[in-house]
Amino acid sequence: MLVEVKVQSLGLDRTNETPVVILQERAGDRVLPIWIGASEASAIAMQLADWAFSRPLTHDLLVSVLKGLGGSLDRVVISRVVDNTYFAELVIHRGGEIISVDARPSDSIAMALRTKAAIFADEGLLEEVSVEISEDESVPLTQTEGSLEIQANAESLKDYLRKLNPEDFGRFTP
């Protein structure tokens, strides 16, 4: 069974300084933490902060290509975890056809935020994961008139993103 989730927060795993996106079920309190790469965290944070750029970034480009080919992102499904690696699918509609594309959850979430597509997680993932989130380790978000806004610790996330080295991109250790 699938459960609709939303991006609850972005944070850093203090044990290894790895970014973590926290997904929370829309109709409950269960959360699903997914460790992601620095560049994907940056892409998610930029979208949540509604930062605009004069040229398209990678996820913006993917959304434009998808639209240009006559498709639309219907939903993202985070389906399973194998050996600490999460798997997701982009569910795309194109000309009456449904196409499922294997993708990383972080890229899928970045695209879903840009297209306002729903994000779902397999209920088994929410049942398996038990995590305690401390407020100083995440960036709390609130929903206002259909958009997400970063609060409180946004400055610490911005500072982290500013300090990233090019070598950090692609480094991934859950």
**pLDDT at residue 162 is higher than 90:** no
Average pLDDT over residues 55-63: 90
At 12 the pLDDT is 85
- pLDDT tens-digit series, residues 120-159: 999 999 887 645 444 444 434 333 333 333 333 445 555 5
At 56 the pLDDT is 85
**pLDDT at residue 160 is higher than 80:** no
- What's the residue count for the chain? 174
- pLDDT tens-digit series, residues 7-19: 998 988 878 888 9
Q: How far is CA 18 from CA 54, 133, 141, in A?
A: 29, 15, 19
Nearest CA among 13, 19, 18, 34 for reference residue 119: 34
For β-strands 118-122 and 71-82, DSSP reports them as: parallel
Average pLDDT over residues 33-57: 89
The CA distance from 156 to 166, in Å, is 19
Q: Where are the domains of the chain?
A: 2-69+118-168
Q: How far is CA 50 from CA 37, 43, 150, 154, in A?
A: 20, 11, 10, 13
- pLDDT tens-digit series, residues 64-114: 999 999 999 999 999 999 988 999 999 999 999 999 999 999 999 999 999
pTM: 0.75
At 13 the pLDDT is 83
As its CATH architecture, domain 2-69+118-168 has: Roll (3.10)
**pLDDT at residue 167 is higher than 70:** no
